[in-house]
């Protein structure tokens, strides 16, 4: 039922006559998709002779802040879950949603079901959280884009979280942070290999073996690059970004101007937000954010040289660069995103 949310969003845009739907009402709408899935699963399990019960995020005590469409979990009160587990029932919880301290229905944004799972595992004092999807763990790149991507059997929280922040559609970055704080190991497996005695998997934990040669390639296509000219415009852009509450992936404020790369995953009202930002900056949304992630990746100038050389070898001129302790990143033309990932994989992983 993975396309349910897309269908609900399409209905919302159909009735708004080209305007952007209010975030609160979108939360009320899209949270129904998980309720449909959880209740059907509970019915199916009970029909097979096993006691089960389904809960919404609010019913099982997932408390969030009051942001709509990309809320953060601030507390979990799992008392009802514990009561039902004590009765021997299978408990099914709707992912991706909670209730704010103002008693408003909220949703957690892209990958929010991962965060729900890990936050519940932490609240229930579990040692591990198994996350099943259509892939058998984490790879060194998206296998649909890079055919020779390598399976990564074990990794640290730091590396996975950096991959998620850089756009890899693996496990949500907030979920990884919950696991890190609670000391919970994450096992990423394939739903289609669930019954195997030796499933192919990626285990994520704090004490994973340290491998300074480990590398992965991440790409985020849901980004925009903003360029503001002059100190006044740069300051105004920072204020506008703070007001819009959009995640900033990279920012360069040198020489009295500013260049920022922002994530659009939490911007359902992007056309209106873009219009506001264009008062201070040139906005480009036809770009992608590509990164090499790995231990000590930005510690040596040779790494940055290899990063640029890998892109230039296939005719890609980066529009901007940024880096952190665990990643080297560049903004490239959106049409070059796939070629950039393959080139960087060949330079940093396959090599």
pLDDT at 204: 94
Tell me which residues of the chain have a pLDDT lower than 50. none
Fold of 1-109: Carbamate kinase (3.40.1160)
Q: Encoding tokens for residue 109?
A: 């944004």
pLDDT at 272: 81
pLDDT at 213: 66
pLDDT at 212: 61
Shared fold status for 1-109 and 217-350: no
For domain 127-211, the CATH class is alpha beta
Domain boundaries defined on the chain: 1-109, 127-211, 217-350
Contact 201, 188 (CB under 8 A): yes
Pick the CATH number of 217-350 from 3.30.590.20, 3.20.20.20, 3.30.2130.10, 3.40.50.10860: 3.30.2130.10
Report in angstroms the alpha-carbon separations of 152 from 42, 93, 128, 195, 288: 34, 29, 18, 21, 24
d(CA 233, CA 14): 36
pLDDT at 18: 67
DSSP assignment of 256-293, as one string?
G-EEEEEE-TT-TTHHHHHHHHTTTSEEE-SEEEEEEE
Residue 304 three-state SS: helix
pTM: 0.88
């Amino acid at each position: 039922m993975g396309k349910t949310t897309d269908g609900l969003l399409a209905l919302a845009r159909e009735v708004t006559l080209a305007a952007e739907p209010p975030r609160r009402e979108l939360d009320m709408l899209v949270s129904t998709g998980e309720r449909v899935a959880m209740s059907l699963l509970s019915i199916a399990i009970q029909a097979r002779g096993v006691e089960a019960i389904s809960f919404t995020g609010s019913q099982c005590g997932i408390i969030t802040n009051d942001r709509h469409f990309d809320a953060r979990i601030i507390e979990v009160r799992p008392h009802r879950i514990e009561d039902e587990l004590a009765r021997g029932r299978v408990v099914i919880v709707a992912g991706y949603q909670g209730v704010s301290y103002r008693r408003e229905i909220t949703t957690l944004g892209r990958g929010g079901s991962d965060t729900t799972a890990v936050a519940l595992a932490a609240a229930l004092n579990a040692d591990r959280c198994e996350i099943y999807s259509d892939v058998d763990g984490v790879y060194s790149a998206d296998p649909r884009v890079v055919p020779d991507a390598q399976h990564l059997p074990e990794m640290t929280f730091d590396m996975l979280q950096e991959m998620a922040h850089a756009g890899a559609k693996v496990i949500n970055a907030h979920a990884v942070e919950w696991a890190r704080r609670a000391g919970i190991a994450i096992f990423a497996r394939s739903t289609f290999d669930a019954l195997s005695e030796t499933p192919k998997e990626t285990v994520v934990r704090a004490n994973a073996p340290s491998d300074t040669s480990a590398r992965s390639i991440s790409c985020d296509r849901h980004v925009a690059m903003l360029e503001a000219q002059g100190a006044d415009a740069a300051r105004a852009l920072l204020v506008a970004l703070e007001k819009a509450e959009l995640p900033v992936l990279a920012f360069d404020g040198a020489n009295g101007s500013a260049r920022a790369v922002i994530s659009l995953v939490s911007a359902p009202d992007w056309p209106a937000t873009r219009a506001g930002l264009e008062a201070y900056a040139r906005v480009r949304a036809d770009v992608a954010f590509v990164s090499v992630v790995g231990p000590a990746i930005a510690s040596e100038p040779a790494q940055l040289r290899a990063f640029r050389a890998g892109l230039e070898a296939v005719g890609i001129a980066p529009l901007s660069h940024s880096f952190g302790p665990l990643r080297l990143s560049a903004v490239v033309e959106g049409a070059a995103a796939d070629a950039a990932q393959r080139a960087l994989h060949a330079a940093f992983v396959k090599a």
